[in-house]
Chains A and B, each alone.
Chain A
Amino acid sequence: DSGVTQTPKHLITATGQRVTLRCSPRSGDLSVYWYQQSLDQGLQFLIQYYNGEERAKGNILERFSAQQFPDLHSELNLSSLELGDSALYFCASSVAPVTHEQYFGPGTRLTVT
């Protein structure tokens, strides 16, 4: 158990819909990262927050957005969902904004039908 929690574990929704994925970092960690993992693309970095502020952006689509709240939990919002958005979404956390090591949550499996 990494100490990072993610909800929900599974999500099935239809194209065009909007969903919110939630992540709570390990106790004491200020930085949260979001990743998308699909079979053909591997683990793709989406976005990083540190202590409530956006720190780095990766391959995140404009239809996706995220935020980190004062209690340090984070939410990833996915809108206008497409079939290709079906994937595993992972949250990871770390103590510092620039660090060697990240601790991953168990992931949310999103299926868009």
Chain B
Amino acid sequence: TQLLEQSPQFLSIQEGENLTVYCNSSSVFSSLQWYRQEPGEGPVLLVTVVTGGEVKKLKRLTFQFGDARKDSSLHITAAQPGDTGLYLCAGRRSGGYQKVTFGIGTKLQVIP
């Protein structure tokens, strides 16, 4: 069982559509990050959220941290082929030193 569950695992949509992917856990996190990874490359950090209810925007991407800091969502508006990739969420649990744990990711394909 993954500490961070991401859904859906796979998503294929047409260019211009909107989408939301989710990252859920039963644990509380002191911070949560979203990364995008393209095939054969390392994950690239997109955003970090640390406060419950926090919303951050990065161009057409909107990230939200749940009020209880147990979940997060990533919404993409008007998806572009360049958004194609593996979206990973990663969280650090509260309390002392805790390593960062990654979800298994959502594989997004945006078809032109």
Chain B contact residues (Cβ within 8 angstroms of A): what range? Answer: 20 to 34
B112 at the interface (CB under 8 A from A): no
Smallest CB–CB gap between B92 and chain A, Å? Answer: 7
Interface residues of B in 27-66 (CB under 8 A from A): 31, 33, 35, 40-45, 48, 50
In the bound assembly, the distance between CA atoms of A33 and B31 in angstroms comes to: 18
Interface residues of A in 37-67 (CB under 8 A from B): 41-45, 48, 56, 58
A2 at the interface (CB under 8 A from B): yes
Asked if A100 meets B44 with Cβ closer than 8 Å, knowing A42-B104, A42-B105, A45-B99, the reply is no
**Number of residue pairs spanning A and B whose beta carbons lie under 8 angstroms apart:** 55
Smallest CB–CB gap between A97 and chain B, Å? Answer: 8
In the bound assembly, the distance between CA atoms of A100 and B97 in angstroms comes to: 12
B88 at the interface (CB under 8 A from A): yes
Which residues from chain A contact B92 at a C-beta distance below 8 Å?
Answer: 98, 100
Interface residues of B in 60-107 (CB under 8 A from A): 88, 90, 92, 97, 99-105
A-contacting residues of B (Cβ < 8 Å)?
A: 2, 31, 33, 35, 40-45, 48, 50, 88, 90, 92, 97, 99-105
